[in-house]
Chain A
Amino acid sequence: MTADPRFLIVDDFSTMRRIVRNLLKEIGFGNAEEAEDGVVALNMLKAGKFDFVVSDINMPNMNGFELLKNIRADDSLKAIPVLMVTAEAKKEDIVMAAQGGASGYIVKPFTKATLEEKVQKIMTKQG
C-alpha cells in the first residue's frame, strides 16, 4: 500500500459519501474520490489507479455485490481491498460478501472508530 493511498467511496446517497470521505480524512486518508453506483465505480477503477474501495451494497444500476464480483474477476483490479459499508445486516448478506472476496464489512450506522479499525486492519493485512 502506498503512503498516500487513493480511496474510492461508492454509495448512492451523497450524504453518506461525504460522511465517509470526511471520516477518512480525519483518520489520515485525504486522497479520495466518489462514485454513486457500481457502474460508475467500475469505470473509475478501470480508468485510474485506486488502492482501496469503500462500497455500499444496496445501490441502483450495479449493487455492491456485483461491483465486488467484477473487481475480483478483473486481473488488474482484483488485488484492491474492498470494504463493504452497508445497512444490510442480514447474516446471509455478510456471508455472501465474505465469500465474494470482501476485505471487511461494516453495518450502518457506524462510528469513526469502527471505520478506522477496519481500514487499519485491512491496510496492515495488505502490507
Chain B
Amino acid sequence: MGHSEAAVLAGQHPQHADGADAAAAVPPSGTDSDDGIRQRIGHLTRTLHDALRQLGYDRELTQARDNLPDARDRLAYIARVTGEAAEKVLNAVDRARTVQEELTGQAGSLQKRWQAVAAYAADGKGCTPAGKSLIGETCEFFAAVGGQADRTNAILTDIMMAQDFHDLTGQVIRRVVTLAQSLEEQLVKLLIETTPPELRPRLEHLQLEGPVVAPEGRDDVVADQQGVDDLLASLGF
C-alpha cells in the first residue's frame, strides 16, 4: 500500500500536487454556512481526486465507467435473446398442441367406425380369426390414443412452464442493469468533479454518449440479416 493510499484510509490529508496542504484550506469548524460546507466538500473532493490520481485510480475509474455501458448492453442482449428463445418454444408448443388435437380428433372418429366393424365381426360374419384379432387391436389402439394425448399434453405443459425462466431471469437482469446505470452515472459525476475544468468537456461528451449496442439510428452496424445481405450485395458478393 502506497503512502497516499494509506493516508486516505487513515483519514489523513495527503499533499496536493502543487504541494499545498488540503487540510490547511478547509475552513475551521463552526462556520457551517452553505458556502462553507460546499467549500469543505470541494476540498475533500479535490483531496480524493489527488489521491486517486496519484494512485492511478482515475484511469481505472474511467475504464470502469467505459465498460459499464458495454456490460449493460450485454445483459440487455441476453434478456432479448432468451426472450426470443422462450417465445419460439411457446410457439412450438402451440403448434404441437394443434397437431395433437387433430390427431386425437381423427382417432376418436376412426375409433367409432372400427367399433362398428368390431361389432359386425363379433357376429362371425365374413371375418377370419386374424382379422378379428386385428380389429380388436386396432380398437384398443384408438382407445389408448386419448390417454397418450393427455400424457403428451402434460409434457407440453411442462415445456411451456419451463419458459418462465425468461420472466424470472429477466427481472434479475433488469435490476442489475438499473444498478449498473446508477453506478455509471455516479462514476461520471465523480470523474467530472475530480477532473480539471479544461478536460471536463471531453468527459461530459462521454456522459451523453449512452449505450452503443442498439443498432437503431446507427449507420456503422447492421440491424438484421437483411442488412448483412444488402451490404454484401452492394459490395458485389
A residues whose Cβ falls under 8 Å from a Cβ of B: 11, 13-16, 18-19, 22-23, 26, 58, 87, 108-112
B residues whose Cβ falls under 8 Å from a Cβ of A: 83, 86-87, 90, 93-94, 153, 157, 160-161, 163-164, 166-168, 170-171
Per CB-CB distance, the 10 closest pairs between chain A and chain B, nearest first, are: A13-B167, A16-B167, A15-B86, A15-B166, A109-B164, A18-B90, A15-B163, A87-B171, A112-B157, A87-B168
The listed residue (B90, B153, B170, B171) touching A19 by CB distance below 8 A is B90
Q: What residues of B have a CB within 8 angstroms of the CB of A15 in the complex? A: 83, 86-87, 90, 163-164, 166-167
Please measure, in the bound complex, the distance between the C-alpha atom of A26 and the C-alpha atom of B93, giving whole angstroms: 13
Q: What residues of A have a CB within 8 angstroms of the CB of B93 in the complex? A: 22
Whether A19 and B83, one on each chain, are in contact in the complex, defined by CB atoms closer than 8 angstroms, is no
Whether A19 and B163, one on each chain, are in contact in the complex, defined by CB atoms closer than 8 angstroms, is yes
Please measure, in the bound complex, the distance between the C-alpha atom of A19 and the C-alpha atom of B93, giving whole angstroms: 11
Nearest A residue (CB) for B97: A22
The listed residue (A14, A16, A26, A58) touching B164 by CB distance below 8 A is A16
Nearest B residue (CB) for A17: B167
Whether A112 and B167, one on each chain, are in contact in the complex, defined by CB atoms closer than 8 angstroms, is no
Taking the nearest CB of chain B, how far is it from the CB of A89, in angstroms?
11
Q: What residues of A have a CB within 8 angstroms of the CB of B166 in the complex? A: 13, 15-16
Please measure, in the bound complex, the distance between the C-alpha atom of A16 and the C-alpha atom of B169, giving whole angstroms: 12
Please measure, in the bound complex, the distance between the C-alpha atom of A110 and the C-alpha atom of B153, giving whole angstroms: 18
Q: What residues of A have a CB within 8 angstroms of the CB of B161 in the complex? A: 19, 23, 109, 111-112
Nearest B residue (CB) for A112: B157
Whether A26 and B157, one on each chain, are in contact in the complex, defined by CB atoms closer than 8 angstroms, is yes
Q: What residues of B have a CB within 8 angstroms of the CB of A22 in the complex? A: 90, 93-94, 157, 160
Nearest A residue (CB) for B90: A18
Please measure, in the bound complex, the distance between the C-alpha atom of A113 and the C-alpha atom of B86, giving whole angstroms: 22
Please measure, in the bound complex, the distance between the C-alpha atom of A18 and the C-alpha atom of B91, giving whole angstroms: 10
Q: What residues of A have a CB within 8 angstroms of the CB of B171 in the complex? A: 58, 87
Taking the nearest CB of chain A, how far is it from the CB of B156, in angstroms?
9
Nearest A residue (CB) for B83: A15
Counting chain B CB atoms within 10 Å of each CB, which of A11, A19, A58 scores highest?
Answer: A19
- The 11 sampled A-B contact pairs (Cβ below 8 Å) are A11-B167, A15-B86, A16-B164, A16-B166, A19-B164, A22-B93, A23-B157, A108-B167, A110-B164, A111-B161, A112-B161
